[in-house]
Each structure stands twice: as structure tokens, then as C-alpha cells.
């Protein structure tokens, strides 16, 4: 059972986490939801299309202009409070690696801290434990926030992913984070080259077998672009193909830009796997 905020999800219930970037320079939307009203409209649309989680980020993942903890908090805390006011039942996640920001957003009503940089600030998990919030434990290959990997190598990339993410998950529980609110994430593109991310996808079942719920953040990433030689705006098909494979292998939470399309993919895979009945079944029965 996965429990986040007011919601509980069965093991075979796929969950969509919609991305809402409060940044002027995000790699995909280039600041489309930096201002409050477009961002709130994005939340409303995502929820209507089937997102259970809204993931709010105040700093883009890649290199760029420095964003202090104070500025990151300014971009996210008030927005978290407003989303909580308007959408009391939605699960609010905040994409941050800083404990100061984690503390502020939990005070404002966040349910989940999405630590995409692999515990680089160990106090973030302490904050989650203190507030009873969930946490995402990600493999980032030891890279520092907002840096790109350079000639990174692993003897066995999945073995490293498992050691790091399970270790972070166990530490989070020891610090008071509810076990049913901890997720592990292979960290596609983070501290990895394209072949590493493809292998992590291919071997995702090994993460699922740990018993921790698995989150994947695949949406329009560079490993998709390099695999198909497509620019950012032409990676949706590759993303959805990777989503289908990940769903078949047992991942549960999907951090995405395209909510409606992802919902259809996840529903189709769930029906093929026998976890979901068809929405209608008239063919051959009339």
C-alpha cells in the first residue's frame, strides 16, 4: 500500500505525478508556468486529466543561473499554500534537495518531498520524518545538484541504483518517514549516460522486487532524445513507449508533462496485465 497525503493506492494502481515548474528557464516549457495564474491553470488541467500528484519545482535540474534557497522558497511556498487551498485532496509534492525549502513547503501543506539529487542534503529526510511527509529517494550517481555527468561509469548500474536508493529509503524510515510513504527512483539521466538509463529501464523489475514503490521520471528526457535522435519537443512518443515498458515491469508512479496521454498508456497496460477491466466491452457481445 502506498499512502501519500489523504490518498492510498493499491500495489497495482498506477499514479500520475504532473510536473508544474515555477521556473523561468525549465528545459521543456521554458517558463510557461512561472507565473501564478498559468501555473494554477496547469494544476487544474492536470487534475482533471487524471493526475493524483502535483510536483512543484522551483529550480530547473540542469545548469543555469544560480537560484538561492530563499529564491527557491519564494517561487514555491506560497504556491503550495494556494494549491492546497484550491485543491484540498490533491497530493502536493515539491521537487527540492534543500532541507530549508523542504521545511517551508511542509509548513505550507506539501505531502511529499521529491529529492531528485539522491540525499545530497541529508537533513531533507529529517524534515520529511518530522512532518510525516513522504519522500522520493533517487539515484543520482553522486553528482552535485544542477551538474551534468561527465564520463561516468558503473561496474553494474542497477546494483549501484539499488544500493543507493534502498539505503536512502531505509534511512528515511529510521528518521520517522512512514514506510508506506517512501518511494525509490532510478534517476533517469541523473548521473547517467543514455546507455545507463536504458539499462535502468530494462532492469526496472529489480527495483520493483525490493518491495519499495518505484517512481520513474521519464518525461521528454535526454536519454529518450538521444535514443531516437529527437529534440525536446519531439520526445513524447519515445517517452510513452518507455512509460509502457516501465508500467509492464511494475513501476507505480510516473512524473510527467503529458498527463492525458500517460493516463491512456497506463490504463492500457493495466488492462493487458489484468489489473483493470476495459472501460467498455461490447465487441462480439451484441
Catalytic residue numbers read 221, 255
Exposure string over 226-244, b if 16+ CB within 10 A, otherwise e: bbeeeeeeebbebbbebbb
Distance CA 159, CA 101 (A): 31
Residue 181's SS3 state is: helix
Q: Is the CB of residue 102 less than 8 Å from the CB of residue 127?
A: yes
- Please check whether residue 116 is in contact with residue 98, taking contact to mean a CB–CB distance below 8 angstroms: no
Distance between start and end Cα atoms, the chain: 39
Maximum separation of any 2 CA atoms in the chain, in Å: 63
How many whole angstroms separate alpha carbon 243 and alpha carbon 248? 9
Amino acid at each position: 500500500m502506498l499512502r501519500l497525503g489523504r490518498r492510498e493506492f493499491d500495489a497495482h494502481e498506477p499514479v500520475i505525478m504532473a510536473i508544474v515548474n515555477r521556473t523561468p528557464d525549465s528545459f521543456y516549457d521554458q517558463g510557461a508556468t512561472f507565473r501564478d495564474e498559468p501555473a494554477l491553470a496547469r494544476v487544474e488541467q492536470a487534475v482533471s486529466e487524471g493526475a493524483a500528484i502535483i510536483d512543484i519545482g522551483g529550480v530547473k535540474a540542469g545548469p543555469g543561473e544560480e537560484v538561492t534557497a530563499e529564491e527557491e522558497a519564494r517561487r514555491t511556498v506560497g504556491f503550495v499554500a494556494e494549491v492546497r487551498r484550491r485543491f484540498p485532496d490533491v497530493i502536493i509534492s515539491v521537487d527540492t534537495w534543500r532541507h530549508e525549502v523542504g521545511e517551508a513547503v511542509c509548513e505550507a501543506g506539501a505531502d511529499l518531498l521529491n529529492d531528485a539529487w539522491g540525499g545530497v542534503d541529508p537533513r531533507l529526510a529529517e524534515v520529511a520524518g518530522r512532518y510525516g511527509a513522504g519522500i522520493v529517494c533517487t539515484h543520482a550517481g553522486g553528482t552535485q545538484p544542477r551538474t551534468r555527468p561527465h564520463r561516468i561509469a558503473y561496474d553494474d548500474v542497477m546494483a549501484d541504483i539499488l544500493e543507493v536508493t534502498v539505503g536512502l529509503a531505509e534511512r528515511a524510515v529510521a528518521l520517522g518517514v512512514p514506510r508506506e510513504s517512501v518511494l525509490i527512483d532510478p534517476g533517469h539521466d541523473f548521473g547517467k549516460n543514455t546507455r545507463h538509463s536504458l539499462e535502468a529501464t530494462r532492469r526496472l523489475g529489480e527495483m520493483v522486487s525490493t518491495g519499495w514503490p518505484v517512481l520513474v521520471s521519464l518525461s521528454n528526457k535526454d536519454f529518450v532524445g538521444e535514443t531516437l535522435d529527437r529534440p525536446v519537443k519531439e520526445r513524447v512518443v519515445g517517452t510513452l513507449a518507455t512509460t509502457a515498458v516501465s508500467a509492464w515491469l511494475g513501476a507505480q508512479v510516473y512524473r510527467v508533462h503529458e498527463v492525458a496521454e500517460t493516463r491512456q498508456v497506463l490504463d492500457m497496460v493495466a488492462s493487458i496485465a489484468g489489473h483493470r477491466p476495459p472501460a467498455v466491452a461490447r465487441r462480439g457481445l451484441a
